[in-house]
Amino acid sequence: MPDFSLSPDLESLQDLARKFARTEMMPRAAECDRRGIFPEEIYRKAFDLGLMNLNVPAEYGGSGLGAFQQCLIVEELGYGCAGMTTSIIANCLALEPILLGGTEAQKREVLEPFCRSYHLASFGLTEPGGGSDAGSLATRARRDGEGYVLSGEKCFITNAPHASLFTVFATLDPELRHKGISAFYVPREAEGVVPGKDEEKMGHRASSTGTVRFEQVRVPAAHRLGAEGEGFPLAMRTLDMTRTPIGALATGIAQCALDHAARYSRERHSFGKPIGEHQAIQMKLAMMTSQVRAARLLTWQAATLIDAGKNATLESSVAKCFASDAAMRVSDEAIQIFGGYGYMKDYPVEKLLRDAKLTQIYEGSNEIQRIVIARELLRRYAP
Ligand code: CAA
């Protein structure tokens, strides 16, 4: 019988993230959201506390946490502010291809400086012409002497305007589709790396998202991750690891919406009693509670499989997909419980809905998650 209680060590990790979220993130969240501020001082504090580079092993200076531990932290940060959390955990996504596909020398070269002082990295897979269909990406890698030359454009890249390193997926031969794709890491100072403007987003406004162009960027062969043509499975394996924490982030948004709605249901009166005593509100709160708890358990299940070294492709997609849909449903119902106030920016719940929406889209839209889930499921039923 699985034990769902947390050990004292896990509780203190959760507590650290909770305190950081409540004391550093939440007091600034509304202002950063309203004005689209990228609060770098908060990200630096997160780095100082070991809340960044969570997946990088301690031998390279990272926090060296497993997937379950990461999920506990990310849920708490997501509760505090989803946008800030996206920027804080973007290094985990960008550095994961190096952890999975890098040689020992590459890991030491990249990860150690990253963990020694505050740096941001970005994951460059998505392109203007191909988001969900990652196998059809058009950024070209051309062999050139001892190395490669990269040309193309990536879009919707978290932290791109601030990143000092990019992991980039590019094709040596588009005719080969996914088999032509290789992965590279490229320092921002390389000639021809041109980050674009910060996008104006609906939610996650404390996070920074932008394009980055690679204009004939020379990359040494030593910066290729894995063999030529191995980039696509590396990207997929990376996302298998990082979709579960997105489920945790979404669970944090949903829990925050539920807490606001439950408190308001006790305080606000209508028809002579607190609105929480009306069954119409109780039905909503019961649904919201069930969604939050199911989302959390699904992320915990996926994370436990990852920590056990088992294949978790299906479970990661289930966790990400369910938890992000739950975050949308729960934050939508929270607004409904707040009524007209919920629609106003003076109250905290409309931000949660705007933030929840992105979790259904990034790191693979939920339509892609359902494709992955169905494929994996049918594989298990092979005759
Ligand atoms: N692990 C290892 N290998 C995998 C794999 C996995 N999870 N999934 C697929 N592969 C391998 C397959 O085995 C296959 O290998 P072979 O050719 O050797 O048989 C190869 O990859 C191609 O697989 P598919 O045939 O399944 O590929 P496909 O073209 O049909 O696409 C897809 C699959 C699931 C739709 C994929 O394109 C996908 O995940 N798309 C979404 C991309 C995405 O999530 N983007 C988000 C980017 S991050 C972000 O959001 C930005 C941010 O900053 C937050």
Phi then psi for residue 122, to 5 deg, are -130, 150
Mark residue 112 as left, alpha or beta (left: phi above 0; alpha: psi -120 to 50; beta: remaining).
alpha
* CA-based radius of gyration for the chain: 21
Give the model's pLDDT for residue 130.
79
Q: What is the 3-state secondary structure (H, E, C) of 224-246?
A: EECCCCCHHHHHHHHHHHHHHHH
Give the pLDDT band of residue 197 (cuts 50, 70, 90): confident
Q: What is the pLDDT of residues 131-179, one digit of tens each?
A: 899 999 999 999 999 999 999 999 999 999 999 999 999 999 999 999 9
CA 371 to ligand 1 centroid distance, Å? 11
The CATH classification of domain 121-228, taken from the options 3.40.50.720, 2.40.110.10, 1.20.810.10, 3.40.30.10: 2.40.110.10
Which of 165, 208, 236, 313 most suits a substitution to test ligand 1, by most atoms within 8 Å of the C-beta? Answer: 236
Give the model's pLDDT for residue 3.
76
User: Is residue 350 among the annotated active site residues?
Assistant: no
Higher pLDDT, 207 or 2: 207
Give the model's pLDDT for residue 1.
54
Asked if residues 324 and 316 have their Cβ atoms less than 8 Å apart, the reply is no
Tell me the whole-structure pTM to 2 decimals: 0.97
Give the pLDDT band of residue 322 (cuts 50, 70, 90): very high
Give the pLDDT band of residue 4 (cuts 50, 70, 90): confident
**How confident is the prediction for the chain on average, in pLDDT?**
97
Average pLDDT (79-99) is: 98
Domain ranges of the chain: 8-116, 121-228, 233-380
CATH class of 233-380: mainly alpha
Q: What is the pLDDT of residues 214-243, one digit of tens each?
A: 999 999 999 999 999 999 999 999 999 999
CA 147 to ligand 1 centroid distance, Å? 26
Q: What percent of the chain has pLDDT over 90?
A: 97
**Which residue's CA lies nearest to atom 14 of ligand 1?**
233
CATH class of 8-116: mainly alpha
